[in-house]
Amino acid sequence: MSDNIYFISMEGKTNYKIGNFAVREDIPLPVYVQDGGKLSLEKINPENIIGGMLKILMEDEQNDHLDYYRDFIFSVQPDIEARLTSGAYEAEQSEHFKDALDIFRVLLALKPNSLDANLNLAICYDEYSQSLFDKGREQEALKMEELAFDFFKIVDEFEDKPENALYYLGRFYLYRENYEKSVNYFDEFVRNTTDQERKKEVIDVLKNIRDFGVTDSDYQDAVAMIHSDNESESFGYIERYIQKFPNSWHGYYLKGLAFRKMEKFNEAIENLDKALQLNIDSSDIYNELGLCYMNLGVFHKGELNFNKALRKNPEDLIILSNLAMLYFKKGDKEEALKYCDIVIEFDPNDLYTKNLRKMIDENL
């Protein structure tokens, strides 16, 4: 428990009230004093008492007086949930995710059995994860994704889920390419929602999922094999998928990815070019093409494709790291160091780029 909490005895305080709340004599009131300060008479006020109670709610889940503290807080500050929720939403919309998560965790401590409290944390962790993925900070993103999943699992246990829960569950699984679960949640959302704008968005997503066949078993098996480094076994599944969905860029992209991982770069480029004809907006396709050309030593084409990928996704640190490697291989160590430093500035824990920078320094 925090050293900044002092407990004030209420013994002998018969019929004592704080606001409209009748204080019990047998339960001491916790008072939170910031920054290791000393307790003084002026610091014993409702705000600091609530601060102490919130610290206990968040740090001592086995405390015997949690329900009493919650009753006190909602009696003395009946608008606390609305105020905190508004502040958390504002922080989240400004992409101050850590601040938003801190507030959402307080709200969960106040209402641990609330669907909304668990859903808000799930959504915020998910948004934070997506932001980190977009910036190429994959390891941090995966940690946030796992935390989001923990809270989405709790939300999923509620029997009667509101439409916004169905929407965000569908979106979460869509981003993780678990299309079967995504479709199930989105279908239920469409059946229940009164939000016509969001309904149209989801119907379009469902159409794309079904048109592109990403729920197809051959596609799913191919993805699983490539992720488990069994690229050579994936081609039969990919070919069957392409035959069923010839207008989907995903099949050619997967085939290109498999060839690139097998270091068959010319075959990879041939298939990635086909994927590009079906989807010119994917930074992933350009990034893969950049890797292929870089490994073939065709640096000007590698640089061109990495830059196209970067224009599509300017915050992706993976693309920046790939550019650093390209310039190193090209012999332009100064430019390579520049890109390394950009990546490390935004993600000091990026071991790949830190090792690349060390290698460049040793070869100067």
CATH number at residue 176: 1.25.40.10
Per-residue burial over 45-82, b = 16 or more CB atoms within 10 Å of its CB, e = otherwise: eeebbbbbbbbbbeeeeeeebbeebbebbeebeeebbe
pLDDT at 37: 67
72 and 92, same domain (yes or no): no
**pLDDT tens figures, 326-352:** 999 999 999 999 999 999 998 888 888
170 and 122, same domain (yes or no): yes
40 and 88, same domain (yes or no): no
Residue 123 lies in a domain: yes
Q: Are 109 and 58 in contact (CB under 8 A)?
A: yes
163 and 272, same domain (yes or no): no
pLDDT at 363: 75
Domain end among 169, 194, 219: 194
pTM check: above 0.85: no
51 and 158, same domain (yes or no): no
**pLDDT tens figures, 184-220:** 999 999 999 999 999 999 999 999 888 888 888 899 8
Q: Are 357 and 334 in contact (CB under 8 A)?
A: no
Q: Which of 170, 169, 161 is nearest to 202 (CA)?
A: 170
pLDDT tops 70 at residue 96: yes
330 and 281, same domain (yes or no): yes
**pLDDT tens figures, 15-37:** 888 888 888 989 988 898 877 66
**pLDDT tens figures, 138-193:** 888 889 999 999 999 999 989 889 999 999 999 988 887 788 889 999 999 999 99
> E strands within the chain?
5-8, 17-18, 21-22, 29-32
250 and 357, same domain (yes or no): yes
Q: How do beta strands 29-32 and 5-8 pair? A: antiparallel
The values of phi and psi at residue 22, to 5°, are -80, 115
**pLDDT tens figures, 241-256:** 999 999 899 999 999 9
Owning domain of residue 33: 5-76
In the chain, the number of structural domains is: 3
